[in-house]
Amino acid sequence: MTTSTPSNVPTGASELESNQPTPAQTQPLTGATPWPRPPWYSFQPATPNEGTSVSLPALPATPTSPETPLFLTPLYPNDASSMQQIMSNPRVAAALLNVPMPYGIAEANSWISLNGGDSSSSGLLTWAIRIHYPSDAGLFIGSVSLTRKTGADGGMMYELGYSLSPEFWGRGIMKNVVFALMIWATEEAGVEEVFVRVESTNGRSKGVIDGIPGFVGEEDQEIDWKGGRKVVRMWRWKARKSTD
């Protein structure tokens, strides 16, 4: 894990989830299709009229709003303003490893441009988290990404990063987002190894990963973090072929 990371890649985790106890740690999954599809998952390839999208569970209705559709989609140019507002929020930025501060509209535009076209060639697999519509008409509320890294043995792996507008924290969104991303990444992009790092005191954010099938906890690490030193919790997932 020694390759450099673009300065605005949102590695690490910023979304605070629920206060529910974290489940027991799971073991690596085996078999050709390691991620069982939940009934809400649907991958829609790009068409001449619409971009690629992945469906997520809708946000439940509240006394003041109806049920709200939720999707993963590509990043679009008109996401820059919403992205800048979210990423410049100190509550979000404090939990991310590689986000420049201040985070301006130029940084947002650069990140969107970096993920445009065939983003896999730049080592990035990034999705917008979007409500209402699976297109640029939907509202950008966060993002999730896999950034390609090279391990000490020369093997390829991806680092998981995610961020979400504080307005939507505590609603269980990110666990479903990560689950959907992993289904897509293994089935459509051939990803075979993923790791994620979370600052050790961010308990509810650690709950996003705890209990997702196949992610196995590793020894904590002390790393450079924005001019200081912090301890991070790390999990890793590896595809393992069945021996049957």
The CATH code of the domain that includes 173 is 3.40.630.30
What is the separation of C-alpha 58 from the centre of its chain, rounded to a whole number of angstroms?
18
Check pLDDT > 70 for residue 172.
yes
Determine the 3-state secondary structure of 161 from DSSP.
strand
Q: What is the DSSP annotation of 34-59?
A: -SPPPTT--EE---SSS--EEEEEEE
Structure tokens at 162: 């995610």
Q: Is residue 48 part of a domain?
A: yes
Closest by Cα among 194, 193, 233, 230 to 210: 233
Q: Is residue 243 part of a domain?
A: no
Could you report the per-residue pLDDT of 97-110, keeping only the tens digit for each?
777 888 999 999 99
Domain that holds residue 43: 12-238
Q: What is the DSSP annotation of 101-149?
A: SS--HHHHHHHHHHTSSSGGGGTEEEEEEEES-SSTTSEEEEEEEEEEE
pTM (2 d.p.) = 0.84
Largest distance between two CA atoms of the chain: 54
Q: Is residue 153 part of a domain?
A: yes
Q: How many domains does the chain have?
A: 1
> Mean pLDDT score of the chain, rounded to an integer?
81
Rounded to an integer, the average pLDDT of 113-138 is 83
Could you report the per-residue pLDDT of 29-77, keeping only the tens digit for each?
444 446 788 999 999 998 888 889 999 999 999 898 899 999 999 999 9
pLDDT of residue 40: 95
Q: How many helices (H) and strands (E) does the chain have?
A: 5, 10
**Number of Cβ atoms within 10 Å of the Cβ of 188:** 13
Q: Is residue 6 part of a domain?
A: no
- The residue that leads in pLDDT, 95 or 22, is 95
Q: Is residue 3 part of a domain?
A: no
Contact at 8 Å (CB) between 174 and 204?
Answer: no
Q: Is residue 1 part of a domain?
A: no
Structure tokens at 174: 């990110």
Angle at 175 between CA 172 and CA 13, to 5 degrees: 100
